[in-house]
Structure 1
Amino acid sequence: MVALVGAHTIGFSHCKEFSNRIFNFSKTSEFDPAYNPVFAQRLRKLCANYTKSPAMSAFNDVYTPAKFDNMYYKNLQNGLGLLSSDQAMVTDNRTKPFVDRFAANETAFFDMFARSMEKLSVYKVKENNDGDVRRRCDQFNTLQV
């Protein structure tokens, strides 16, 4: 799973998906202390009007957002994990070794990502009328009658 989540090295997330981490996080902190403080301040500025502009978003990988590489894992090690589920992989003892390995060795990430995608591609495949290819990955297709 840690390798598959590495797909976040490309793409973006809408501010609403992580706003709870950058605005009024707790009584003692405006933002999640797991964030790099400079990163958190930049996200707060970027997403300041996200409720009025729901399309506001940030790159999942701030350094190489259009390149499939291992920078995403290096970012996690430096408090630059945009989503809480991403950042949690660095603090969980079960997943941290994988994050560290993929951050240090891009080839290891590529190899494990490829193998994981192959396994996932055949897992409980739905065929014919049992399945539906989504037009947008974040929404179910509307039923056509």
Structure 2
Amino acid sequence: MAFRRGGRVLLAFVLAFCLSATKLEAQLHKGYYFKTCPQAEFIVMDEVKKAMAADIGLGADLLRMHFHDCFVRGCDGSILIDSTPDNTAEKDGRPNNPSLEAEAFEIIDNAKKRLEAECRGKVSCADVLAFAARDAVVLSGGLYYEIPAGRRDGRVSKASETLTELPPPFFDLNQLTWSFARKGLTQDDMITLSGAHTIGQSHCSSFNNRLYNFNSTFGQDPSLDPVYAAQLKQKCPNTSSGANQQVPMDPNSPTTFDTSYYGSLLAHRGLFTSDQALMSTPVTAQKVWENAVNGLAFQKKFGEAMKKMGNIGVLTGSKGEIRENCRVVNGFH
């Protein structure tokens, strides 16, 4: 009888959780701006397209910016807020500065300016960023996926929180799995979202310990392909200036959203410790292999994982605000 009572309690808890999750899903929905600002997604796409035509590398910044926004305080556009004399904001936290280009933030500014002229006070900065990240994937060769919208903007942004909430490039598999689980994402979601590393660049400082100072036994990470390591050493000399150099995260196709990243992992050519960590167990290695050999399935999974990530900690209804200027909270001048 005790087991049956416990089962009823557990069932009630699960039902309550599912109902709350369904309510959250209902608050964000496709076509959210269909009546209030029908041109919203077209305007954002137009600005992303113009910027990426001039510098295709900005797509990776937009994608990373959305990820970093969602993992700190939820997908509330707080990464877009500028620092003030009294507060260092997320965008100036070590994981974001200097890795995110100023031009990427300007894309959001330009889109927001046009949106305010078109439909004042209707489209949140958080939604603009979510749309822009999706558009960056599409314009880099990835599949289009629908973005449920209706997020509102947060009013708090702290650089210190980027250090505690964002998984660093030296995390192992267990640490990565824990970091994503905290945000309601599965290990499979984590492996799928890591595929974003198929575009963009990294500063050598994020991985040069694997080349020169891995641990007390090995100077060079033994899991790193020696030929690839030699190539990286040429581009990232063991000097202070070398640490500031940049290399593609996926050297085979650094501006194309494809499955080459996973092929690199199979060849022991993952750039970060956290990349190669995806090969740590037979289960995760199988997921990597599946993504590497079936590009269409990966692309579909990636869109679904991005939509799931885009629901983290969202502000809806009367919570938060819709910022007039994505760089400052309303009422602050």
Fold shared, TM-score > 0.5 on shorter chain: yes
1:118 partnered with 2:307: yes
Q: Which of 256, 268, 276 matches 1:79?
A: 268
Quote the residue 1:4 is aligned against.
193
Q: Which of 37, 46, 67 matches 2:226?
A: 37
Q: Report the TM-score when normalising by structure 2.
A: 0.38
1:88 partnered with 2:240: no
Quote the residue 1:107 is aligned against.
296
Q: Which runs of 4+ in 1 moved over 4 A?
A: none
Aligned length: 136
1:102/1:109 contact within 8 Å kept: yes
Secondary structure at the residue paired with 2:240?
Answer: coil
Q: Distance in 1 between matches of 2:291 and 2:272?
A: 18
Secondary structure at the residue paired with 2:254?
Answer: coil
42-51 or 21-30, which deviates more: 21-30
1:12/1:59 contact within 8 Å kept: yes
Q: Distance in 1 between matches of 2:219 and 2:298?
A: 34
Q: Report the TM-score when normalising by structure 1.
A: 0.82
Could you give the per-residue CA deviations for residues 96-145 of structure 1, whole angstroms, max 9, x where no partner exists?
1210100111111101100000111122114635x9xx98xxxxxxxx77
Q: Which of 308, 315, 320 matches 1:128?
A: 320
2:248/2:254 contact within 8 Å kept: yes
* RMSD of aligned Cα (Å): 2.5
1:9/1:71 contact within 8 Å kept: yes
Query: Which of the two has greater helix per residue?
Result: 2
Could you give the per-residue CA deviations for residues 73-105 of structure 1, whole angstroms, max 9, x where no partner exists?
000000110000000001233421210100111
Secondary structure at the residue paired with 1:58?
Answer: strand
Quote the residue 2:211 is aligned against.
22
Question: Identity, % of aligned pairs?
Answer: 37
Secondary structure at the residue paired with 2:270?
Answer: coil
- C-alpha change, 1:19 and 1:53, in structure 2 (3 Å) is closer
1:16/1:50 contact within 8 Å kept: no
Secondary structure at the residue paired with 1:13?
Answer: strand
1:50/1:56 contact within 8 Å kept: no
1:14/1:57 contact within 8 Å kept: yes
